[in-house]
Amino acid sequence: MVGQGAERLSRERAARRLANEARGGSLLMASTLLAPATLMVALGLVLPILILLRYSFNKFDPRLMMVEAVTLENYVKFFTDPFYTNVFWTTLRVALLCTLVCLVLAMPLAYVLARSESRYKNVLLMLVVLPLFVGNAVRAAGWMTLFGSKGALNAALLEVGAIKVPLQIMFTEKAVVIGVIAVNLPYMVLTLQSVIEGIPRQTEEAAFSLGAGPWTMSRRILWPLALPGIVAGVILCFILAMNAYATPVLLGGPQFKMMGPLVFGQFRLNNWPFGAAVAFVLMTATLVLTGAANLLVQHRYRRGRSP
Amino acid sequence: MAAIRSVSRRQILKGAVAITSAGLADLPLGAAAQSKGKIVVGTWGGDYARLLNKNIEQPILIRDGWEVIQDQAGDPERRSKMLAERRLPRGTTDIQGLSALNMFQMHDVGVIDAIDYGKLRNAPNLLPSMKYPYGVGHIYSGKVGVYNPRLIDPAPKSYKEIFDPKRGDKLGIIDIQYQYTLVCAALAAGGKVDDLEPGKKLLLECKKAGARIYPTNEAFAQGLKTEEFGTGVMWKARVVQWQNASISVEAIVPAEGALAYVSGFVIPKNAPSKAGSYAYLDAMLEKGAQEAFAIDMGYNPTVTNAVVAPELNKRIGFTPEEVKALVDLDYAYMTRNDVTLKEWWDKELKG
């Protein structure tokens, strides 16, 4: 069986190669099509990132701001000072928590949207997208009026007598988590919805007809088939949460620190070398974690598919 | 349709001649506009940029034949740009708007020119304290004590009474104002502008007693409005804006002397058009422009011939004694210690 399969695969590959060559210059064609985007990314992203990396090895001088040097002191400062490592762990904690909550909240909603045959489906989808029409800062401003000590929420709770003193939500981690979830949820819902839509309904019906309950079906059929999309949604959400700026600044207040605002703060102080180092720590951590998650899931996915 | 058909070839020709001659008539003016050249001014965006355009550029410089271009950005970005351009024979801006502290900083690293006050027609009117050797003060205000009379009675008289740990739970602090807040607290604790340690200690005590820290000026105003706290320090100009927004707040000039905030302009050494730089400086010191800024922005004129209506002056101005008592930051001290002070602020006070 295995031998036959491998033979068929290599035959298919050869046929594909022949077909490509017959079309003539398809490789050239492909590179021409890829070139503009590659060039844009190289010039607009890779080059500035390399410059930033170089800055992160420079020295800071209060008078001259940035002095050319090759030193690791900015990174050492970050990793040896508990203040900065705390900021890092807070960021990671908030990002993971928000991603998890988004996943749990988005899954049922995405499922209903994907399987809905209502003529209002497009309206429902629009309602999910609607919050994205408003900028993050504006949305945070909305939360501020809701969460403030004399905001709508506290006023209502005080009025009905549920609480005696106003709840302190503004300028806490709670407020940031709620704000970030609200920002990221539509992304998660949309990603999951499109993936679930691609899973044939018949696979679920087959499971049900074989006696699986809804829970078993979700666990054994829906979850594994939707896994690539779930990973995409989780990664998207996680990256957005790790790099959140407006929400932690506006809802977290001055005493709450996350990496995004920390990077900005260092550049405001004109401490470019340290700002660059913090930016690199954030970027590397995000990349490594998303890469690791991706690899892990791919590994399990492949193992799950093998007979 | 009939109207269109009735337009004859001759009429069209007449029209064309009229348009051409109108164009020609405009030409000398257009040529004059180009003859004076271009001024590139680095400034903050927002209201300040809009008011520079409304009160200085449009009515004086552009009418005079200058072309003015604003390079809008926050001051850290513009200072970085000035430093990055320092080796170029020709920079990209002719004049830069900065706070007095940042003006000093740029002077300290040697990227700006000494001001030749002989070239400024309006220099004799300038307040002596606004004549920096390396920059010209445009507007000023002072860090006054603010309090809500409904919560704080009797009114505080000094920074010392505002930063009193005994009523620390009534104190509001603005995060982005860390430099000035530290100096005010130092003055309250009997320290000096170049010795902020007593101020740090006092702030920690106030924090322990329940002082609240707000991220921005706007958040502070919001807290003041909802009576989350009752007192703090802020620019007098801002207090006027808050009173206009019907927030219950009064301002006092502290007994220690109010900490001054001066915003001014400097000339980069490699400014492409020095004539333009000086034209801008002179225009911003014009009586009319200075008076308009007092009305529009609530900051005080830096020239003696500007007339501010008594009612407005009561709200934004300082008496001659108060002006004399204004306290300046120690620019060199603040420049050298800014990052350490901010780190202390973030780690110790806010942490």
* Arithmetic mean of pLDDT, B43-57: 93
Both B335 and B211 in one domain: the answer is yes
Number of domains in chain B: 2
Both B284 and B243 in one domain: the answer is no
Contact A254 B108 (CB under 8 A): no
Say what angle helices B178-188 and B331-344 make with each other, to 10 degrees: 100
- Whether pLDDT at B283 is above 80: yes
- The per-residue pLDDT for B18 is 55
- Interchain CB contacts (distance < 8 Å): A and B: 53
Q: Is residue B311 assigned to a domain?
A: yes
Contact A254 B337 (CB under 8 A): no
Q: Is residue B191 assigned to a domain?
A: yes
The residue among A279, A290, A285, A277 whose CA lies nearest residue A74 is: A277
Amino acid identity at B265: F
- Whether pLDDT at B104 is above 80: yes
Residue with tokens 């004694």: B321
Q: CB–CB of A247/A137 below 8 Å?
A: no
Q: Is residue B29 assigned to a domain?
A: no
- The per-residue pLDDT for A19 is 64
Residues of B within 8 A of A270 (CB-CB) are: 76, 79-80
% of chain B at pLDDT higher than 70:
90
Whole-angstrom distance, CA of residue B104 vs CA of residue B110: 10
B137 to chain A, closest Cα gap in Å: 22
Both B198 and B168 in one domain: the answer is yes
B224 to chain A, closest Cα gap in Å: 12
Both B229 and B172 in one domain: the answer is yes
Q: Which of B102, B228, B348 to mutate to test the interface with A (most CBs of A within 10 A)?
A: B228
Read off the tokens for B123.
């220099």
Q: State the pLDDT confidence band at B244, using cuts at 50, 70 and 90.
A: confident
Q: How far is CA A52 from CA A31, A281, B13, B86, B201, in A?
A: 29, 12, 62, 20, 37
Whole-angstrom distance, CA of residue A233 vs CA of residue A246: 21
Read off the tokens for A274.
């340290």
DSSP B148: -
Torsion angles phi and psi, residue B269, rounded to 5: -55, -35
Both B61 and B132 in one domain: the answer is yes
Q: Is residue B23 assigned to a domain?
A: no
- The per-residue pLDDT for B229 is 95
Task: Indicate the pairing of strand B135-147 with strand B131-132.
Answer: antiparallel
pTM for this one? 0.79
Q: Is residue B60 assigned to a domain?
A: yes
Residues B201-218 as b or e (16 or more Cβ within 10 Å = b): ebbbbbbeeebbbbbebe
Q: Does B129 touch chain A (CB under 8 A)?
A: no
Both B233 and B271 in one domain: the answer is no
Q: Is residue B5 assigned to a domain?
A: no
Both B167 and B283 in one domain: the answer is no
| Domain annotation for chain A: domains and CATH numbers | 1-55 (no CATH), 75-305 (1.10.3720.10)
Burial of B34 (0-12, 13-18, 19+ CB in 10 A): exposed
Q: State the pLDDT confidence band at B238, using cuts at 50, 70 and 90.
A: confident
Whole-angstrom distance, CA of residue A245 vs CA of residue B110: 35
Nearest chain B alpha carbon to A262: B346
Q: CB–CB of B342/A269 below 8 Å?
A: yes
Contact B346 A257 (CB under 8 A): yes
Residue with tokens 């355009």: B53
- The per-residue pLDDT for A9 is 65
Domain extent, residue B288, equals 36-140+261-318
Both B76 and B199 in one domain: the answer is no
Both B60 and B126 in one domain: the answer is yes
Q: State the pLDDT confidence band at B13, using cuts at 50, 70 and 90.
A: low
Both B338 and B238 in one domain: the answer is yes
Nearest chain A alpha carbon to B214: A254
Task: Indicate the pairing of strand B95-99 with strand B231-235.
Answer: unpaired
Whole-angstrom distance, CA of residue A9 vs CA of residue B123: 86
Q: Is residue B3 assigned to a domain?
A: no
Q: Does B337 touch chain A (CB under 8 A)?
A: yes
pLDDT tens over chain A, length 307 residues:
445 656 776 777 777 766 666 555 677 788 888 899 999 999 999 999 999 999 999 999 888 888 999 999 999 999 999 999 999 999 999 999 999 999 999 999 999 999 998 899 999 999 999 988 988 888 888 898 898 877 888 889 998 988 888 888 888 999 999 999 999 999 999 999 999 999 999 999 999 999 999 999 999 999 999 998 999 999 999 999 999 999 999 899 888 999 999 999 998 888 999 999 999 999 999 999 999 988 888 887 776 554 4
H/E stretch holding B277 reads helix B274-284
DSSP B264: E
- The per-residue pLDDT for A205 is 94
Of B213, B339, B351, which has the smallest distance from its Cβ to A83's Cβ? B351
The residue among B44, B105, B40, B106 whose CA lies nearest residue B74 is: B44
A255 to chain B, closest Cα gap in Å: 5
Both B334 and B217 in one domain: the answer is yes
DSSP B143: E
* Arithmetic mean of pLDDT, B295-310: 92
Whole-angstrom distance, CA of residue B283 vs CA of residue B340: 38
Read off the tokens for B66.
């200058």
B9 to chain A, closest Cα gap in Å: 52
Of B79, B219, B335, which has the smallest distance from its Cβ to A62's Cβ? B335
- The per-residue pLDDT for A22 is 58
Q: CB–CB of B253/B142 below 8 Å?
A: yes
Q: CB–CB of A280/A263 below 8 Å?
A: no
Read off the tokens for A131.
């919050």
Task: Indicate the pairing of strand B250-252 with strand B67-72.
Answer: unpaired
Which residues 189-228 of B are in CB contact (within 8 Å) with A? 213-215, 219, 222, 226, 228
- Kindly report the CATH number assigned to the domain that includes residue B206: 3.40.190.10
Q: How many residues does chain A have?
A: 307
Residues of B within 8 A of A265 (CB-CB) are: 342, 346
- What are the residues facing B120 on neighbouring strands? none
| Chain A residues within 8 angstroms (CB to CB) of chain B | 60, 62-65, 83, 148-150, 249-250, 253-255, 257, 265, 267-272
Q: State the pLDDT confidence band at B285, using cuts at 50, 70 and 90.
A: very high
- The per-residue pLDDT for A162 is 87
Mean pLDDT (chain B) is: 90
- The per-residue pLDDT for B170 is 95
The residue among B36, B37, B300, B250 whose CA lies nearest residue B144 is: B250
Both B306 and B251 in one domain: the answer is no
Nearest chain B alpha carbon to A84: B347
DSSP B126: B
Torsion angles phi and psi, residue B221, rounded to 5: -60, -40
- The per-residue pLDDT for B28 is 44
For B24-38, the pLDDT digits (tens) are 444 444 444 457 999
Q: Is residue B30 assigned to a domain?
A: no
